[in-house]
Structure 1
Amino acid sequence: MRPTEGRPDRPKRRGAGWPQPLSEVDEEEVLRRIFPNLRTGPSVLIGPGDDAAVVIQPSGSVVATTDTMVRGQDWHDEWSDAHDVGSKLVTQNLADIAAMGAVATGLLVTLAADPQLPLGWAVDFADGVADTAAWDGVPVVGGDLSSAGAGTVMVSITALGDLQGRRPVLRSGARVGDVVAVHGSLGESGGGLELYLAGERPTRWASVHEALAAAEVDRARDHLMWVHRTPTCSVSSGPLAADRGATAMIDLSDGLARDAARIGRASGVCLQLSRSRLVADFVEDTPLEMALGAQRALHHVLTGGEEHSLLATFPADCPLITQQTDPDVHWWVIGEVVAATPDGAHVTLDGEPVSGGWDHFSG
């Protein structure tokens, strides 16, 4: 059974103190509420407050990525609060930087919102960004505010990274004979989303003792919903994998089957996944199986999105894979890279083509 990753405690929200809509305060007041909680660092020469930030990039190259979230499409207010949204948005971007083998050096944050959005929501969103960025040691260097149409709330982050002299790990480097491995969880965010869509909501435990005494299945459901609201990524694992010889790597944002196929297509190979390994490490005796049963658990392991774990291929004799002694950097071997199949499948499960996952336009 794969161990559950540790997480930081949820901080106290500040936004409740500012219920007035954005239309009742000017942009300078919004920024005055947000800036004090944004942390920079030694790589930032010029931080928030000027026309642009200045960030040191020692290697001379810049890794850049961006992600956008829209209310009603990428989150729902009835289960994700503003802090959750900010936290998830940071994780999405940092996972992309890590998947290239790079270290994040700065975040640029954008909020476009209906002027009737409460100021407190913007403050809590900024705190979610700041708290998660600080947890991962990444400075927030600036961003933008804009008004939007009635009911609209859209947020985005552009993340910058530095390879620190490494070669970028691309999707196109997988080779026949490599092993396929994942760092992090599989399917938990997708399982949490299924529970939310079915009308489940987290239990509000009165105390830690009450939570510990609760039924195991209730704690399992809460865990899955928590992971969906605020997924995490071990950002140091990407650069470490690059240093130890990863041949291809990707952030698992759209599901294992879909993202593994992206490596397969780019590399001209097939990633053959092992059902027995996936079941043993990510289904049996896990919160997924406890909450949803073995069949639904395996479905989410293969297709659940927004996990933001790292999927990579390595030479079969890579010490990071063969000599795993540190649980914080553990990579779970789930398959192997084989030659492209005659029918063009780029990912299979025990030799049978497998597909599915999240698509932003078809669902």
Structure 2
Amino acid sequence: MELLLDPLPETGPAVITYAAGEGDSVSELVEAILGDLEILAIGLFPGWLPEGERLSGPGGGGVAAARVLAGRLAASTRHFGPFLADLAERAIRHRGPLVFGRSGPEGRSFPAEVRAAGLARVIASTFGRASAALVIYVPEKLTSHGETVLVAGCEWLAHRSGMGIWLVGPELRRVETLHLEVPAAVRRLAGEMTAPPLTATVGVPPVAGRPHAGSVVEQAMEAALAGCDWAHGRSWNQMYQSKDPLFVMIRTDLMWVREKCVVEFDGPEHETSAHMERDRIRDRHLERDGFTVLRFTNQQVMGDLRGVLRHIDEFLRARRLGMSEGAGWCPKKDSRTGRSRHCLC
């Protein structure tokens, strides 16, 4: 699924993944999903509210300004004004990491139908898409009652929200199963991958121009870069089309286009042979186009953020001075994986 959806075709919907649990009733299941989607929408703010990034916070006129901006947006779009204004106010009042599975900041009580349709529009607009789709992972060993609740809840969401609902995983007796043919190249890579455990209830793709809402590493990096004068010109999660017309588009974590510098942050999943091969191919195409790719592990960022910042700073300063390589940083081979890493010595 990950390999097929990254990058997503420009005409496709915004795709959100959801790890469903077994619910006792349809209303309980729907409420759980809507609650997590609301937390997601709040975490994606201000991506869905033009000029929302200028709002300072809950103090002063931040809340009032958010409601005004939401009203203006709703007047010229399909958004429902009162719901959008309430969501914007809650986003201003809540600043912090996304925590799914628990109640978000309280707001007005809207009917489930209004929340479902409103959230679908907000999520789609955040990614510049006309629609959204929810990929729901079916729990293993689902009981007969749990299956009935899941299917009925998904039918309700599909009709009320306008989202496409995709159920993936174990076959269900109450719905027709469709087996998709995966391209051979993707099958080869996927055959080497071990499915990691689901670490979050909701999975969301990154928004172009912003650090990933669900990535602690990217959020920490952006918070640090915001205070660095030398970090101007950076761009998060942008798509890049290689000069090789036969190669797919590349989504980079962090890029300085003018300096032709790409910075990638690697989690544990990048240590699998499939991910390592993907990264090697991606880096090779970027390097052929004149880019230098700096890779840091999540552990490096969270364990020595100042060191990572120093090395990026030194490379950019050197590149801006016309040097072909940055001073003060050195690529090293990982003795276990054979991949290039940037030492923080």
Fold shared by both chains (TM-score > 0.5): no
Larger radius of gyration: 2
Flag the structure with higher helix content. Answer: 2
Q: How high is the TM-score relative to the length of structure 1?
A: 0.30
Structure with the larger RCO, 1 or 2 (CA within 8 Å, 6+ apart) = 1
Q: How high is the TM-score relative to the length of structure 2?
A: 0.31
